[in-house]
Amino acid sequence: MICAHTANAAAGGKAAEARPPARAASPRTHQDAERHHHHTHGAGSRHPGGHHLLTVEHLSVAFSMYDPAAPFFRARRVENRVIDDLSLSVHQGEILAVVGASGSGKTLLADAILGLYEPNAQVTGSIWFDGQLRDAAGLAALRGHGISLVPQSVANLDPLMRVGDQILGAARGPERRRRRERMRALMASYGLDPAVERLYPHELSGGMARRVLLLCALVDQPRLIVADEPTPGLDLDLAVRAVSDLRRFADEGGGVLLITHDIELALRVADRVAVFSNGAVVEETACENFSAPDLLEHPFSRALWHAMPEHGFSAGEQSEGEGRP
């Protein structure tokens, strides 16, 4: 259980409420083909050990801030809730794409899973990883030790550090030698020449730089990769090529949470889609169900289907209170 807390608590300080230790998943096992936890499955969805690789339940993220509409010297603190009662799951061996508009709060979901919170953040809900319930400190401990991030921009690479040193990180001694061996094996596997480790980021092509970001995540041997908008500024064909490495990681047994605003990209590379609207996942379904609007359950999901280029950019069916895709 992630109780209401601040970033200081997530970093190991005291939380507003006591947190229970990590505990095993519910004894109720999940069957591979059944519908549960508000979602339907893709063709390859599996539950090794009887549970999901990642489960997020009833996650809410709010920020305590001064009322921007009030006069400067009389403003009172208000709560701005960005994510509200969000639930989703990632299976081992699949890509789950979280699809929503840019600026809608999807990156906050990534931050919550990685145990990263701003000082004024209030986070509640439950996050389970590999069958264990994790608190904020437990999630932070998993960064680089089970869960890795592929960030949105290649600007996350240090322009003054050689590529190899960035992939290796701060490890020393035998651990650094082990990581160097793994790095070189990964570079060969993902088509990067050994000379690349001596280059600086500005000497890389765009595709090479994105592979370096992926290798920075893979060198830690993660079970789950969180990819936060990994293809900004690319056309669809180039974006599909860029995320093909994530597809390969999933096909080899890992799990991927792909955060994107690009529904076409999601449907090409993912196994399932979680439709994000108004700070919550309104539907989590197999990509195959986007073949026809009648297979989709939520009005906003059907509106996304109608808004795709091949369906005429029409808003389609929409319920009162639903934003346009």
Averaged pLDDT, groups of 10, the chain, 325 residues long: 44 34 44 57 69 93 88 85 93 94 85 91 93 93 94 91 93 91 93 94 90 92 94 78 89 94 91 92 92 90 87 56 46
Residue identified by tokens 């999601």 is: 266
Instruction: Report the sign of the C-alpha dihedral through residues 202, 208, 210, 216, in that order.
Output: negative
* Domains assigned to the chain: 7-146+222-311 (3.40.50.300)
**Three-class DSSP category at 135:** coil
Of the candidates 100, 108, 103, 57, the one whose C-alpha atom is nearest the C-alpha of residue 83 is 108
- pTM for the structure as a whole: 0.81
179 to each of 71, 77, 184, 246, 258, how far by Cα in Å?
55, 47, 9, 20, 26
**Strands ordered across the beta sheet of 272-277:** 147-150, 224-228, 255-260, 95-99, 272-277, 280-286
C-alpha span between 277 and 265 (Å, rounded): 18
HSE-CB at 323 with a 13 A cutoff on CA atoms is: 11
Q: What is the pLDDT of residue 310?
A: 81
Residue whose structure tokens are 């400190």: 137
pLDDT at 319: 44
